[in-house]
Amino acid sequence: MNLSSTYRKVFLDPLVDNNPITLQVLGLCSALAVTSQLLPAIIMSIAVIAVLAFANVAVSLLRHVMPRSIRLIIEVTLIASAVIVVDEFLKAFFPEVSTVLSVFVGLIITNCIVLARVETFAMHNNSFSSLLDGIANGLGYSWILLTVASLRELFGSGSLLGYSVLPMAEAGGWYEPNQLMLLTPSAFFIIAGLIWLIRTVRPAAIDQNVVTSASNAEPNQDGN
Amino acid sequence: MAERESIGRTLLVAGGVALVCSLIVSSTVYWLRPIQLAYRSLDQNFAIIVAAGLAAPDATLPDSEVVERFLRLESRLIDLDSGTYAEQSSLTAQTYDFQAAADNPAQSREISKVEDIAGLGRRPDLMPVYILRTGETIDRVVLPIYGRGMWSTIYGYLCIEGDLLTVATVHFYEHGETPGIGDRIQDPAWIARWVGKRIYADDGTLTLRVGTGGVGSGAFAPVDAITGATVTVTAVDKFVRYWLGDAAYGPFLANLRNELN
């Protein structure tokens, strides 16, 4: 496998075939909590992508220096720093959204996706492919989050990004909103539906990945 | 690889990472603080106009509109002990920071054990109040209140009707209570239960109670508790009663009432 196709695989794999939410079923907490509207979900997605990219690159750069005995502490310190920086940025420039997201930005620190990528990928790969891996996993997380949030806001509030799409019955329109969509369980149902859909459309890729994900998803270009 | 796992190396890497990370975090906070504070002061003004009934809690107003509506209110600084206005040339309600004053021994005093039902410890000598008037008549008075909740200090504004006896509304604008439980102190349905509650009886005794058990007797005007948020609601009860009592806004409100009659 030549270099560029390796990178392509590193980038494309987490989007569908090895998606952190639908395949690895990680990061569900925030996927359930921040998806009742689209705007917070967009901001949350950007925050997770930024944290994943930073943490992956930082850990990858330090991977030869880090003593094994304290590697988890160092990884979490780096992740936590990135999350605090992101949180402060949100508080300064998106104060309203920051209020809506409340603790869930801080909880990116404990988002399993971040630690999983840092531990299993960035510790063994060069910084460029770690950057790609971070962004790609962030995007894999994001498109699920945005799909769930779009569906929930559209059918729960009849709007997208706050703009009315389906005129609500209480405001004189015809759409009777589905209250379930405003509640957390609806995110479970939608994610379950997406997992079903992805596994039905791409059964071959999924099965192969489940068996060999360790060798497939983590190319070792630098012989580490 | 033995060297990589040595104690010296471990300490060096741990110290280095900690140092770099703390520098990144603290410089971010340092650079962003002014922007956050500017938003905070606008947010304060917004909280005050919401409490005064000049804006809906969920309204999205342009910044200039928030300032314009805020300026319809008369901002005064009062001395809590005497209940009189206490502006000085260098000190007005706009420049005064009661949160900072509460920590400053020169601008605050220790609350005696008997008076300190809310466990505040100290309180500022001066507090800002916001009065909405039509001509000479007082429509509403907005009073800042705060106190320790379950996890955090809860900040809010209590708005009193022009009769200076009943609650117009209340608005808690800052807290760190449990999401989904204690944070329901911001729930409009709960806020609605405050409206019209009688604060003082005719003889001046404090009749407002918030949510504690056994307050159903006719002499009191209890606001219903929030299920599951007992600690938060009890804390709100205590600091609301402290601030409305003789040790805080009591003398000022009594003076204003005398002005009415």
Q: pLDDT tens for residues A10-51?
A: 888 888 878 888 777 788 887 888 888 888 899 999 999 999
Shared domain for B219 and B189, answered yes or no, is: yes
A211 — pLDDT class (breaks 50, 70, 90) = very low
Max mean pLDDT among A157-171, B99-113, B202-216 falls in: B99-113
Work out the pLDDT band at B259, boundaries 50, 70, 90: confident
pLDDT at A221 over 50: no
Partner A contacted by B32 (CB < 8 A): yes
Q: Do B10 and A62 touch (CB under 8 A)?
A: no
Cβ of residue B8 closer than 8 Å to a chain A Cβ: no
Cα angle B256, B259, B260; round to 5: 95
Q: What region does B166 belong to: left with phi over 0, alpha with psi -120 to 50, or beta?
A: beta
Q: Which residues of chain A have a CB within 8 Å of the CB of B35?
A: 92-93
Distance of CA B9 to the CA centre of its chain: 50
Q: Are B60 and B107 members of one domain?
A: no
* Tokens coding A2: 């030549």
Q: Which residues of A touch B22 (CB under 8 A)?
A: 81
CB–CB contact A95 B32 (8 Å): no
| pLDDT attached to residue A223 | 35
pLDDT over 70 (residue A205): no
Q: What is the mean pLDDT of chain A?
A: 83
CA pair distance A137, A123, nearest whole angstrom: 16
Q: Which residue, B32, B50, B71, sits at the end of a domain?
A: B71
Position A207 pLDDT exceeds 80:
no
Q: Which long-range contacts (CB under 8 A, 24 or more apart) does A94-102 make?
A: A94/A43, A95/B36, A95/B39, A95/B43, A97/A39, A97/A40, A97/A43, A100/A34, A100/A37, A100/A40, A101/A34, A101/A40, A101/A43, A101/A44, A102/B179
Distance from CA of B142 to the nearest CA of A (A): 24
Residue of B nearest to A55 (CA): B21
Residues of B in contact with A85 (CB under 8 A): 24-25, 28
The CA radius of gyration of chain B, in Å to the nearest whole number, is: 22
pLDDT band at B25 (very low <50, low <70, confident <90, very high): very high
Residues B10 and B118 in one domain: no
Q: Tell me which residue in A70, A84, A89 faces B10 most closely, judged by beta carbons.
A: A70
- Stretch 25-84 of chain A: residues touching chain B, C-beta under 8 Å: 62, 65-70, 73-74, 77-78, 80-81, 84
Domain end residue (candidates: B55, B71, B87):
B71
Predicted local confidence at residue A22, as pLDDT:
79
3-state helix, strand, coil in chain A (%, to 5): 70, 5, 25
B32·A89 Cβ contact <8 A: yes
Report how far residue B14's alpha carbon sits from residue B28's, in angstroms, rounded to the nearest whole number: 21
Same domain, B103 and B216: yes
Q: Average pLDDT, whole number, for chain B?
A: 86
Tell me, what's the pLDDT at A84? 93
Same domain, B174 and B88: yes
B164 vs A82, B53, B168, B248, B257, CA distance in Å?
A: 50, 16, 10, 15, 7
DSSP secondary structure string for all residues of A54-110 = HHHHHHHHHTTTS-GGGHHHHHHHHHHHHHHHHHHHHHHH-HHHHHHHTHHHHGGGG
CA distance A190 to B260: 60
Q: What is the amino acid identity at position A59?
A: V
In terms of domains, do B29 and B136 share one? Answer: no
B151 in contact with A, Cβ within 8 Å: no
Residues B174 and B204 placed together within one structural domain of the fold: yes
Nearest CB to B17 within list A68, A77, A93: A77
The reply to whether B65 and B174 lie within a common domain is no
Which of B54, B71, B88 terminates a domain? The answer is B71
Do B67 and B17 lie in one domain? The reply is yes
Q: Does residue B173 sit in the same domain as residue B89?
A: yes
Q: Model pTM greater than 0.80?
A: no
Within 8 A of B13 by CB-CB distance, chain A residues are 62, 65-67, 70, 74
The domain tally of chain B equals 2
ipTM of the complex: 0.75
Cβ atoms B130, B75 nearer than 8 A: yes
Tokens matching residue B90: 């260098």
Which pLDDT value is given to residue B110? 87
Three-state DSSP class for residue B133: strand
Clarify whether residues B22 and B80 are in a common domain. Answer: no
Report the first-to-last Cα separation within chain A, whole angstroms.
17
| Distance from C-alpha of B211 to C-alpha of B227, rounded to nearest angstrom | 10
Task: Identify the pLDDT of residue B137.
Answer: 87
Same domain, B142 and B20: no
Q: Is B11 on the interface with A (CB under 8 A)?
A: no
pLDDT digits (tens, 9 = 90+) for B178-211: 877 888 888 888 888 888 888 888 887 888 888 7
Parent domain of B82: 73-260
* Residue that the structure tokens 């605050």 belong to: B108
State the smallest CA–CA distance between residue B168 and chain A in angstroms: 26
Tell me the average pLDDT across A53-64.
93
